[in-house]
Structure 1
């Protein structure tokens, strides 16, 4: 009887952690591309790129940074000044569906609520959600890093009683219009969290705050049969690994890795060096998508290690090496210009996003032959 109760308890606990929700095809592999969503005047070029460049390379996942570039009906006050319409989005959905490409829309949650000297739409409209209202944005054109306030990007306070009502309305609307099964919440580079001056977060463990926010977002999506993707940097100890404060954490959020549900998909960006952190995430029971950007030799190494890890690992681990994605940290227009003109980097070299994209997918094709 005790044994039966123990087994039942473990089933319940593992189901909550997500072990029981792995995809039926555990050996499916993500071949991804991540970029900001186009503005309406760039939509036709974007769709052309899907047909002529993404599909022929076998890309099957498009992580699309939407944020406030959509004509939201739930909160129209949060729209950008120029946005994609519902009809625009359906054109994107149609183009991707023709090639079996799933869209994973992204709206930055928790962190990245500002950039340099610009406050993001959420905190501009709802300043009460700001984790650090005492940190004022610098005058236009004067932002510098480092600075006395430690201002990189603002965060919303995860314990504010009204924040999830607003952001979840956006999430639900964006998931519906994109007909998506997975949502990317960002959650990278969160430097402001659990601040001493915050009346709600002061004195709280930052790792628990981070883990609870992941759990809250994950649970909301799970109620709708959807899954959560996040960037992985806050779950890596930046000091112990030597990776640093950008691609890993210096503010103790890394301990959250043992508290978050196991069905969250981790997008592990390691851009200037192949730190093989995918192994860490996989051994922790998480599916991980390795992410490259603008160093082609790093991307080649990451492709090799992905396929090697899948080849030499046991059945439980194979499916956790979930895939690889190329990421672009600009809008589509400058990327397309560099891509089609094969523009070199500032030093006349090949460390560019477009060259890395080409080289990475060439390596994938070579490995899969």
Structure 2
């Protein structure tokens, strides 16, 4: 009871704080989550109607990856994947509330997780940047191979034909003019033993892949979104290897196209990196996760950046996007109080979402 009362007081204080923020229309009021599995779709559509729409969420990023019944590459489908008809239900719900919907497929990095490769490298192992790194029976971090997630080799001559066919199909299905390519936490890139990109500049390789994806999307009038961590210097900033780069990809910030959207995520501290991206000529949104106090400071900062910026910089500060790093079903259980309470009853993704995006 005491914990519940403390949480209520905390959220009320956060709500008052948010209400006191400068009144400004953020171009992006976003929500990012894994696309629901078919059995969770009805509950998620209800969540769009009853929670996202009243909070004026205008952008929904769905991490689809292989959770779609692709026709271009049936071999890459997940076993329990969304049908085209089910995707159209999502599209219609978002259209009804004037919500932009953006699908994501992880490109370049995140081609494995823990002890298993994801569908692309499982089906097409030749695309692997590090085929000599074998997936462990029991995954632990740190490990001798520096294995976090595998990457595909951006220089492999066959990789883009496959992934772009997926990208085109999913963008057409979601009827969207934007695509999120992920590209975060890329630890394997330009490895010395890779016969194609070994010894090449990692920043140049990363920027080259951004350009390749951007140019493909641009042919059909679509915009590229990516996570921003690989464009930050982890050593100089002290941000480290997760929220920033320790393998020299950060210099790509001066090489990437300027018409992309950078999703700048920091979860434990409200670091002021949106200013850095804006000064580099890039559009940027701030992305919190599960700490309401950090997220509300980030929101205040975003309002402040926009309020104090000159006419060139202001349009680059695009807004905020709540990120959810569980599947849709688990998040909905958390949000509606159906799951077992977490030990930390304050710092949860549901509380963070409520704090940043009021439904008043």
Q: TM over 0.5: same fold?
A: yes
Task: Tell me what 1:11 maps to.
Answer: none
SS in 2 for 1:56: coil
User: Residue by residue, what CA displacement relative to the aligned partner does 1:278-328 show, whole Å, maximum 9, x if unpaired?
Assistant: 010011110001000001101000110101111111111111001100000
C-alpha deviation, 1:276, in angstroms: 1.0
Contact 1:294/1:353 (8 A) holds in 2: yes
Task: Tell me what 2:17 maps to.
Answer: none
SS in 2 for 1:145: coil
User: Residue by residue, what CA displacement relative to the aligned partner does 1:10-66 show, whole Å, maximum 9, x if unpaired?
Assistant: xxxxxxxxxxxxxxxxx8610000000011111100100000000000000000000
SS in 1 for 2:151: coil
SS in 2 for 1:290: strand
User: Residue by residue, what CA displacement relative to the aligned partner does 1:312-369 show, whole Å, maximum 9, x if unpaired?
Assistant: 111111110011000000101111111111868643431100010001113x97xxxx
1:125-136 equivalent positions in 2, closer than 5 A:
125-136=123-134
Task: Tell me what 2:37 maps to.
Answer: 39
Residue 119 of structure 1: which of 111, 117, 120 is its match? 117
Task: Tell me what 1:220 maps to.
Answer: 216
Contact 1:130/1:154 (8 A) holds in 2: yes
C-alpha deviation, 1:118, in angstroms: 1.1
SS in 2 for 1:246: helix
Task: Tell me what 1:340 maps to.
Answer: 336
SS in 1 for 2:216: helix
Residue 102 of structure 1: which of 100, 103, 108 is its match? 100
Mapped partners of 1:289, 1:171: distance in 2: 23
Task: Tell me what 1:327 maps to.
Answer: 323
Describe the shift of the 1:153–1:65 C-alpha distance in structure 2 as closer, same or farther (beyond 3 A): same
Residue 80 of structure 1: which of 74, 78, 81 is its match? 78
Mapped partners of 1:28, 1:252: distance in 2: 32
Task: Tell me what 1:235 maps to.
Answer: 231
- The worse-fitting range, judged by mean Cα deviation, of 341-350 and 352-361 is 341-350
Describe the shift of the 1:300–1:343 C-alpha distance in structure 2 as closer, same or farther (beyond 3 A): farther
SS in 1 for 2:180: strand
Mapped partners of 2:295, 2:341: distance in 1: 17
User: Residue by residue, what CA displacement relative to the aligned partner does 1:74-124 show, whole Å, maximum 9, x if unpaired?
Assistant: 000000011000000000000000000000100000000000001100000
Mapped partners of 2:190, 2:341: distance in 1: 39
SS in 2 for 1:326: strand
SS in 1 for 2:224: strand
| Residues 1:259 and 2:260 are matched in the alignment | no
Bigger RCO (CA 8 Å, 6+ sep): 2
Task: Tell me what 2:284 maps to.
Answer: 288
Task: Tell me what 2:142 maps to.
Answer: 146
SS in 2 for 1:230: strand
- Structure 1: which 5+ residue stretches go unaligned? 1-26
- Structure 2: which 5+ residue stretches go unaligned? 1-24
Contact 1:344/1:351 (8 A) holds in 2: no
SS in 2 for 1:316: coil
Task: Tell me what 2:298 maps to.
Answer: 302
Mapped partners of 1:158, 1:348: distance in 2: 41
Mapped partners of 1:335, 1:348: distance in 2: 16
SS in 1 for 2:357: helix
Q: How many residues matched?
A: 336
User: Residue by residue, what CA displacement relative to the aligned partner does 1:207-245 show, whole Å, maximum 9, x if unpaired?
Assistant: 000000000000000000001000000000000000110
State the TM-score, normalized to the length of structure 1.
Answer: 0.89
Residue 65 of structure 1: which of 63, 81, 84 is its match? 63
